[in-house]
Structure 1
Amino acid sequence: FAGEVDVHEALGHVKQNYPVDNSRVSIRGFSMGGAGCWHLGAHYTDRFIAMSPGAGFAETAQYNRMAPENYPAWYVQRLWGQYDVPGYVRNLFNLPVVAYSGEKDKQIQAARVMEQAFQREGQTLTHLIGPGMGHRYHPDSLKSIVEQMEQASASRRPLPKRVTLQTQTLRYPKMHWVTALRLTEHWQDSRIDAEIVSDRKLRVHTQNIAALQLTPWGEMQGAQVEIDDTVVTLGSEGTLHRQAGKWRVGEPPRGNPTLVKRHGQQGPIDDAFLAPFVVVVPASPAAHPGIQSWIDFEIAYLKRRWRALFRGELPVKTLDQVTPEDLLQKNLVLFGTPQSNPLIRKYLPAVVSNWDEQQVVIRGQAYPANTHLPLLIYPQSGEQKTYVVINSGPTFRDDHDRTNSLQNPKLPDWAVIDIRQPPNGSAPGKVVAADFFDEHWQLKTTKPTQ
């Protein structure tokens, strides 16, 4: 949700101006801050020595009291896996966690959900409950939390001998000396459990991992790893990849196609807005007036949203204002059609097999070009870690602002919308097709099960 980048930038600013010991930083928060603490603590666990979330949501469906029959589209449910903390619970085994709830606070629900998540993994969550309290700290509980956080940060953390990483996306790939480099499939439960057995010897178990890197020591050459059912001797980089069911030393070959999903280039559409970007508007009107009206509306909408929600001015340029540095260093957010925006014509990936004034064709399905538009994210190239986004800003909209538990991605890697349903507070139009690309940024051969 909105704010992740701000927290990291603010913390970085503090570290530039004050003598902060990176190994002794703890994280706490209450209410909305408690939600942020759950999220940041679960996704960036190795940046903190301890955490204490209080009275903030930890997942989407139960917090919003959604009945299964009222769940949103399958891809939105899949995307809950970006932020829902129960799917990252094993990360929290890497540090002390002290949750807090008021006894009479309905927000106790979040900690109860996390208690269950811990229990499913055979662990117990430390959960302090303020007697008789509503949505506030009990003084005795707060005193205990402060004491436990201070105790945890009293000394520098040694190199952890056991590391547990759990993720569903390479947006969050790292835990201490363990890094997931490739997943077998995104948005599935992916795990690495690693242990230093003895000097120069490691034991590793994985799930849904296609490549990884192990760096507990400065020099990895010759270290022995027992990984799943294979024993290997590492090279200097400490990288391993799975090939034909067996683990092999080194990074996986790129192969054909050369594009792969990797950290910072794994989607979905919203991922492009976590890094510097520039919006490029059409150079000429679209062939169809209805399409042009939609484009004009969505650009204006994005400008308003960016100012209201992200507290900044949207970086917008015309084609002649785009610099070589923009093309090389920034994510390109392109609005228009191949006929109205030359950069769309230049960067349009082959996954859109045809897009002219008559039709848009994707995954073998043709859509009338006067009433339909593709929205997508795609790598600019396999070399630089930048994206091209076509016809989309952040995909959560006004209706999702009623609670920041809903300010999460609403579209996957690509979608086709029918603009005969006008944009509204929940969608840019009627979504008639949507899916994720595979791990090589290609269209999946089978359509998703609804």
Structure 2
Amino acid sequence: MSLRLLLSFSLLFALAVAQRPNPPAPVVLNPAQRQQLDAAVREIHSLLAQLRQKKADPALITDVAIFHKAGAMLQEHPEEFFVPEDVPKFLGVLAQGAERGRQLLAGQAPWTTQKSRRLHGYVSALDGSVQPYGLRVPDSYDGSKPVKLYVWLHGRERALTEAAFLDRAQKITPGGTNPADEGQIQLDVYGRWNGIAYHWAGEVDVFEAIAAVQARYKIDPERILLRGFSMGGCGAWHIALHHPGYFAAAEIGAGTWPLRSQLPGFPAYQAGPLRLYENIIDWSLNAFNLPIAGHGGENETGTSSIPPPPPGTKTRGQLESSLRVRAQLEKEGFPSEGDPFDLRVPGTPARFFISKNTGHGTGPEVRAKLDAFLKEQGDRGRTSPDHIRFVTFTTRYPHSYWVTVDHLAKHYDRADLNARRLDAGRRYEVSTRNITRFTLREVAKAQEVAIDGQKVAVKPAAQITFERTANRWAVAKPAKGLWKTHRQQGPIDDAFMDPFLLVRPTGQPWNPEAHAQALRLLSRFDRLYAK
């Protein structure tokens, strides 16, 4: 196993350790309880077989299959009964799954029309597993017109197994993170327990869950808003700043920030790959085009960074993530102004709030401002800007609205693209750094594009790709040879975001230490990835 792939595994599991639960000693099922569990799983399995034979709607079958998977996970990992109350609760969840199966055999699916909370599933293209998601559907929704979608990323919860999620996702839980009802549907992403803070498979889950909702409900694609808090805030920073042209807005509360690359003795050669997944602060300029509301508590107590800072280090807890994004925006030329508890960043749509006298949470005053922000941005919707500022370090994340970075001169180094659309789309001005090939879309009226001061004549088209050769820009010809392109730029970037195969080392290792570490990581992967 190469050092490069070992680094990828090490980073994956370092995040996993930080985000995985640390539960109390598990409850041991007695023989009668184990029999009940096994019988419930067998019943749902039998019902699923009958439904498939009957050729029932695959989406509705998946709505039943999420219960079978939750039960099978409990069979495989009985340590996930964390407290005595979990036993009757989870058996009740499985009974609900069996009831769904019987209803569907009778040609009924009442859970698809029930008020408020709904629970569905989808089949992940990543590994073929069924994944659950919850919905909060307003009474006003009747499917006659597209509605806004809020995408909610939950925080770290030590005992949020699939069975626990199935139970909780159907209950109304009041709290400071709940937004005002503006007629939106809210998607509660499960994210594979604690989802490695919505990185890798967790990031895939977010977009697959959105697609699953869009397939079943009438969602306005221009009014999808991202929300997250704590670990969900960490994930929301990661996803929002990597995909600045996808969402209409993002409300991001708390969230850890990366410390690893700042620790003494950190190897310089590892810094580049960490810019992709850990050092999200480096991507802050992408808030230029994405309305972001970062917030946290004045007396924030959450663990501020991964790994935690050395003892005695002065931090503001998870408020640090907002503070550091704001500081980076100032370095980019966009200082904030206003009340320290309610800041704007002129030149960008970014907002930053601090809840007074609040710890790891959201105060009512800030919640009201966040609701107003969500309503304003949701009503406006995602709109194509005439001026784009975009930063990337990899072709894994190449898009922002109508620009795509196709090739970098040097991967893992910062690449900048500053593009303006002028004269109602007839002229474009683009400046670049560390980019050798890029594409402009929405160029149906384009006549001239100036790139780094060089004018290039063009003909109107749906999209136009440009390439730099010998310091000259021109309309590109089809790319030849090997290039790092989107989703094909290396194992560190892609290994865990598409279907993958792990190959165990065999034979005599050339490096016994690397061999032993590979076996340790593979063993841990077997144990944790299934969860």
TM-score range, shorter chain: 0.5 to 0.7
Contact between 1:60 and 1:80, CA under 8 Å: does it hold in 2?
A: no
> Which residue of 2 is the match for residue 73 of structure 1?
267
Which aligned pairs between 1:105-184 and structure 2 lie closer than 5 A? 105=300, 106-123=317-334, 124=345, 125-184=350-409
Structure 1 residue 214 and structure 2 residue 409: aligned?
no
Normalised TM-score (structure 2): 0.52
Shift of 1:174: 0.6
**1:290–1:215 distance in 2 versus 1, CA, 3 Å:** closer
2: CA distance, partners of 1:297 / 1:208: 35
- Equivalent residue in structure 1 for 2:525, among 291, 305, 311: 305
In structure 1, the partner of 2:292 is: 97
8 Å contact 2:273–2:492 — kept in the other structure? no
User: Could you tell me how far apart the structure 1 residues matched to 2:522 and 2:403 are?
Assistant: 38
C-alpha change, 1:251 and 1:172, in structure 2 (3 Å) is: farther
**Are 1:47 and 2:246 an aligned pair?**
yes
Q: 1:292 to 1:59 in 2, by over 3 A?
A: closer
Paired residue for 2:218?
19
Q: In 1, distance between residues paired with 2:244 and 2:274?
A: 19
Deviation at 1:116, TM superposition (A): 0.7
Q: CA deviation at 1:212?
A: 0.3
Structure 1 residues 102 and 246, CA, compared in 2 at 3 Å: closer, same or farther? Answer: same
- Comparing 191-200 with 266-275, greater Cα deviation is found at 266-275
Give the counterpart letter for 2:214 in structure 1: K
Cα gap change, 1:13 to 1:55, in 2 (>3 Å): same
Match of 1:273 in 2: 496
Supply the AA of the counterpart residue of 2:275: G
Whole-angstrom CA distance in 2 between matches of 1:51 and 1:289: 48
- Deviation per CA, 1:11-36: give whole Å up to 9, x if none: 22111111111110111111101111
Matched residue, 1:314: none
Letter in 1 for 2:451: I
> How far did 1:238 drift?
0.4
Counterpart check, 1:249 vs 2:460: no
Cα deviation, 1:79-116, whole Å, max 9, x if unaligned, reads 22102222211211102111111001121111111111
Match of 1:321 in 2: none
Residue among 260, 277, 280 paired with 2:483 = 260
Alignment of 1:430-441 (within 5 A): none
Q: In the alignment, residue 78 of structure 1 is paired with which amino acid?
A: G
How far residue 296 of structure 1 moved from its aligned partner, in angstroms, is 8.9
Tell me the TM-score normalised to structure 1 length: 0.61
8 Å CA contact 2:257–2:321 kept in 1: the answer is yes
**1:100–1:128 CA contact under 8 A, matched in 2:** yes
Query: Within 1, Cα distance between the matches of 2:211 and 2:361?
Result: 29
3-state DSSP of counterpart to 2:251 = strand
Match of 2:456 among 218, 229, 232: 232
Pick from 246, 258, 272: which aligns with 1:59?
258
- 1:306 Cα deviation after fit: 4.7
| Aligned counterparts of 1:19 and 1:182: Cα–Cα separation in 2 | 36
How far does residue 298 in structure 1 lie from its aligned partner after superposition? Answer: 3.9
User: 1:294 and 1:227 mapped to 2: Cα distance?
Assistant: 46
Paired with 1:247 and 1:148, the residues of 2 have a C-alpha distance of 41
CA 1:309–1:143 in 2, change beyond 3 Å: closer, same or farther? farther
**What is the correspondence of 1:271-420 to structure 2 with a 5 Å cutoff?**
271-280=494-503, 286=507, 288=508, 298=518, 301-302=521-522, 304-309=524-529, 311=531
| Distance verdict in 2 for CA 1:232–1:302, change over 3 Å | same
Shift of 1:52: 1.5
Aligned-partner Cα distance in 2 for 1:244–1:262 = 20
Q: Which amino acid aligns with 1:212?
A: F
Deviation at 1:295, TM superposition (A): 6.1
> Once the 2 structures are TM-superposed, how far is the Cα of residue 299 of structure 1 from its aligned partner?
5.7
Q: Deviations over 1:305-350 (max 9, x none)?
A: 1551453xxxxxxxxxxxxxxxxxxxxxxxxxxxxxxxxxxxxxxx
Q: How far apart are the structure 2 equivalents of 1:86 and 1:49?
A: 20
- Does residue 203 of structure 1 match 2:429? yes
RMSD: 2.5
State the Cα deviation string for residues 267-295 of structure 1 (Å, max 9, x = none): 2435222111233557xx62x38879986
Q: Which residue matches 1:444?
A: none
Residues 20-39 of structure 1 aligned to structure 2 (within 5 Å): 20-39=219-238
**1:192 aligned onto 2:417:** yes
CA offsets per residue over residues 215-272 of structure 1, 9 Å max, x none? Answer: 024x47x631011121012354401011111111114752xxx211111111243522
TM-superposed deviation, 1:201: 1.2
Secondary structure in 2 matching 1:278: coil
Once residues 223 and 59 of structure 1 are traced to their aligned partners in structure 2, the CA distance between those partners, rounded to angstroms, is: 44
- The whole-number CA distance in structure 2 between the counterparts of 1:247 and 1:270 is 28
SS of equivalent to 1:48: coil
**1:145 match: secondary structure:** helix
Cα deviation for residue 186 of structure 1 reads: 0.9
Offset at 1:205? 1.0
Whichever structure has more helix as a proportion of its residues is 2
Secondary structure at 2:496 match in 1: helix
With over 3 angstroms needed to count, the CA separation of the structure-2 counterparts of 1:130 and 1:156, relative to structure 1, is closer
Aligned to 1:152, what secondary structure does the other structure show?
helix
Rounded to whole Å, the distance in 1 between the matches of 2:525 and 2:457 is 52
1:279–1:184 Cα change, 3 Å: same
Tell me the distance in 2 between the aligned counterparts of 1:144 and 1:48: 19
CA contact (8 A) 2:247 2:382 kept: no
Letter in 1 for 2:412: W
- Where structure 1 has 5 or more consecutive residues not aligned to the other structure, the ranges are 312-450
